[in-house]
Structures are given as C-alpha cells and as structure tokens.
Structure 1
Amino acid sequence: MCLILLSWQQVPDRPMIIAANRDEFYSRPSLAANFWPDHPQILAGRDLEYGGSWLGISRNGRFAAVTNLREVEHSGEHSRGDLVKHFLLSENSTPAYLKELEAEKDIYRPFNFIGFDGHRLGYSNNSATGWQLLPPGCHAIGNIPLNNTNGKTAKGKTDMDAAVSTDANHLALLAMLQDKSPNGQHQDAFHHALSCRFVSIADFNYGTRSSSVVSRHQNGHWDFWEQRYNTNPADPNFLKINALNHFQL
C-alpha cells in the first residue's frame, strides 16, 4: 500500500474514512479483499507470498494498514504485512500493541503502520524510535515517515480534506484515488510515475493494483469497498476497472 488518506473524527456520522491505493508488482500473487478462511474475523486483501495484508478490518472493530518506506535502509526480513494480520487478531489496545511493537521493529522490512482498536488511532514506523496516537484531522501516509511531506502526500491530504467536507461517497473517493496527475517535478520517468496517485510503470511491471475506501460509522458499523484493476499488461483492458466489491460489518 503506497498511499493512505485518512479522515479521523472530522465527519460526525463517519468518524473514520480511509481512501487508499495499493501499489505493488503486477506479478506478485494476492487475493482480493474477503473474509479469511483461517481467520474469519479478518476482512482484508491477502498477500499470497507471505500471508499478510496491506489493509483490513476485523469483526471486533479494528482497522490496520501499512505502507513501505522508500529510500530507507533495509531493516529485517519479516513481512510488514504481518503487522496488519497481527493487529487485527490482537485484543491489545492500540497503545499496548505499539509499545510491544517498539521492541521488535527491526525484524520487519521498512514500514509505516497505522492501527485503530475501536477507540484510538495510532501510528508507528521503523525508521525512528517511538510511536504516537493521531489527533483528529486528515492524515496522509505515503512512502515517507508521517512527519515528512512530499507533493504526493500534500496534494492527497488537500483533496481528502475537500472530499470529506462535501460528504463525498465511495464513488467520489475512488475517482479521487484514480488521479494520474504527477505531483512535482522529477528528472527521471520512474520517480515522475511514482509521484502520481495512481501509479503505472509498465517497464517495471509495477503500479496500483487496487483502491480501497473504508468508512466506520458512528454506530460502529463498517463499509468496505475494494476496486481492483486489470494488471495483465498483455490484456487490451490493462489497468481498466476489473471488479468493485462491497462488504459491510
């Protein structure tokens, strides 16, 4: 997952709204969002290489997501997707989970992690020590630490703020995630493509695989939409909309 835009306690009837794009190699095997047969309390997409996820919710009201950290020295060998799985299966509060994670950050590949236990929303990464509970507002988590900003996260935050102020529905948020405009000036084509909200780098077999819009309502119910894209470069419908799935908890 390379961009997470999150509105926290800005909309009274939807205290949490997430709009996120997952960027990954097209060839990496994964499953669309669904309830997991081995852990039926989890609703999430699944990475078939390591068994974790990039974004998901659980029947006990938890949410978690990760992005990778670019240009950060390689850390451990454990998949960052395990953080999502472990948090969704955990019964620990967000602060308790993040305190425990602090001691083993180095075993994971570079990550940004965000987790919600039903009450508190927290953030951590393994490029620095410490963790934090996030204040109300709009937050943009890309492939840099949360306290840093680049053109992609700044524009994403502005657009997400504008969307939630007009009570945008899931279709409007999905359309926002499909923006292919570059953010900033870049000397090479690779970083130019990465600066776009919807990423497509055919030469590297890499880009946006899916978009997710997740809303938690004031009554504790969740709506989860996942828009997948055709990522077979040999298909004439390459990168066109493949499927839109909707779940409710």
Structure 2
Amino acid sequence: MCLILLSWQNDPEQILTVAANRDEFFQRPTLAADFWPEHPQILAGRDLEFGGSWLGISRSGRFAAVTNLREVEASGDRSRGDLVKDFLLSAETSQDFCEGLEPEKSQYRPFNFITSDGDKLCYTNNIEAGWRTLAAGIHAIGNIPLSEKNAKTQKGYQDMKVVMAEKPSHQDLLNMLQDTKPTMDAEEDIYRALSCRFVSFNEYGTRSSSVVSASKTGQWDFWEKRYATSPTQEEALQHFSFAEDKQQ
C-alpha cells in the first residue's frame, strides 16, 4: 500500500473515510478483500506470501493499514502485514496497541502503521521512536514518515480535502485514486511512475484501490476495486456493508 488518504472526524455524519491505493509487484500472490474464514470478524485483503494484510476493518469497528517506507534499510524480517491482522484481532485501544508495539518495532520490515478503534486514530512507524494520536482532519500517508512531506502526499492531501468538502460518493473517491499525473519531474521513468497516485511501471503498479466509510451510526462500507495486471484478468469492483458489532 503506497498511499492512504484519510478524513478523520471531519464530517458530522462520518467518523472515518479512507481512500487508499495498494502498489505491489503484479506477481505477488494476493487474495481480494473478504471476511477471513478462520477470523470471520476481519474484512481485508490478504497477502499470500506472508499471510497478513495491507488494509482492513473488523466487525467491531476497527481499522488498520500499513505502507512500506521506501529507501529505508530493513532492520527486521517480520511482515508489516501482521500488524494489520494483529490489531484487527485485538481488543486493545489504538493507543495501547501502539504503545505495546514500541519495544518490538525494529523486528518488522520498514513500515508506516495507522489504526483506529473508533475513538482514536493513531500512527507510528519503525524508524522514529514513539507514536502519535492524530487530530481531526485530513491526513495523507505515503512511503515516507508522516513527519515528512513530498509532492505525492501533498497533492493527495489537497485533493482529498477538496473531494471531502463535496460529500463524495465511493465512485468519486475511486476516481480520485486513479490519477495518473506524475508529481515529480524526474529523469528516470521509474521515479516519475512512482510519483503518480496510480502507479504503472513494467511489472509493478497499483493492484487495487480501497474506499472505507464509517458513519456515526456504526454503519461500515468497504469498496475494493481490483485492476487487471495481465491480459487474462479484468477489473473488478466489490462492496461490503455491515453494522458495527461491539460484541465481536
């Protein structure tokens, strides 16, 4: 997952709105978003290489997502996708989970990690000490620490701010995620491609877009659009909807 745009407690009717793109090598085996057979409270895509996920929600009203940190040397070999899975299965608050993660962060591959338990939205990474609770508003998380900015995250922030002001539909958010304009005028094709919101470069690119919406009444909606990565595949859009169950 290379770009996560969030609107948190920024609307009188919506607690959380997420628009995110997952960028990955086309050959990496992946399952589309669904409720997991062995953990039916989790709704998420699944990475079949390590078993975790890049973004997901739970029936109890929890949200988690990760991105990698590009150009950061790995200090550990644990999969960052496990963070999403472990938080969604946990009953801990976002704050307690991030606090408990502190001693173990170096064991994971480089990550940005964001969580919501419905009350707080928290962020951490494993190249900086500590974690933070995010204020109400718009946030853009890319492949750099949240404390830094680049043209891709800044444009994402501005576009999300504009779109959210217009009470967007899920299709409006999906359309925004498919922006193919480079945000970097680099000489090398790979860097121009990676600076786009929708990435397409040889055997690597945007595999799927996700839109998540959580209302003040406890209604959750999850749309996932999967893109064709070979001549034998077709684009596919699926939608899940459920009422939050705090007893899960």
TM-score by length of 1: 0.96
**For residues 13 and 130 of structure 1, what CA distance do their matches in structure 2 show?**
31
Q: C-alpha offsets along residues 147-193 of structure 1, whole Å, 9 cap, x if unaligned? A: 11101000000000000000011001000000100002212111110
**For residues 84 and 237 of structure 2, what CA distance do their matches in structure 1 show?**
22
**For residues 144 and 243 of structure 1, what CA distance do their matches in structure 2 show?**
29
**Gaps spanning 5+ residues in structure 2: where?**
243-248
Q: C-alpha offsets along residues 82-128 of structure 1, whole Å, 9 cap, x if unaligned? A: 00000000000111100110010011000000000121110000011
In the TM superposition, structure 1's runs of 4+ consecutive aligned residues that sit over 2 Å from their partners are none
Q: Give the equivalent residue in structure 1 for 2:209.
A: 211
Name the amino acid aligned to 1:23.
Answer: D
Q: Give the equivalent residue in structure 2 for 1:149.
A: 149
Name the amino acid aligned to 2:135.
Answer: P
Q: Give the equivalent residue in structure 2 for 1:220.
A: 218
Distance 1:236 1:48, change over 3 A: closer
Matching of residue 108 in structure 1 with residue 101 in structure 2: no
Contact preservation (8 Å) 2:64, 2:113: yes
Alignment of 1:153-168 (within 5 A): 153-168=153-168
Name the amino acid aligned to 2:87.
Answer: F
Matching of residue 93 in structure 1 with residue 86 in structure 2: no
Q: Give the equivalent residue in structure 1 for 2:227.
A: 229
Q: Give the equivalent residue in structure 2 for 1:242.
A: 235
Matched residue count: 242
Q: Give the equivalent residue in structure 1 for 2:21.
A: 21
Q: Give the equivalent residue in structure 2 for 1:171.
A: 171
TM-score by length of 2: 0.96
Name the amino acid aligned to 1:28.
Answer: R
**For residues 26 and 93 of structure 2, what CA distance do their matches in structure 1 show?**
35
Cα offset, 1:236, TM superposition? 7.5
Q: Give the equivalent residue in structure 2 for 1:67.
A: 67
Q: Which moved more, 1:182-191 or 1:27-36?
A: 182-191
**For residues 98 and 117 of structure 1, what CA distance do their matches in structure 2 show?**
12
The RMSD of aligned alpha carbons is: 1.0
Residue 104 of structure 1: SS of its match in structure 2?
helix
Residue 39 of structure 2: SS of its match in structure 1?
coil
Q: Give the equivalent residue in structure 2 for 1:56.
A: 56
Name the amino acid aligned to 1:208.
Answer: T
Name the amino acid aligned to 1:211.
Answer: S
Contact preservation (8 Å) 2:184, 2:191: no
Q: Give the equivalent residue in structure 2 for 1:39.
A: 39
**For residues 236 and 115 of structure 1, what CA distance do their matches in structure 2 show?**
36
Residue 10 of structure 1: SS of its match in structure 2?
coil
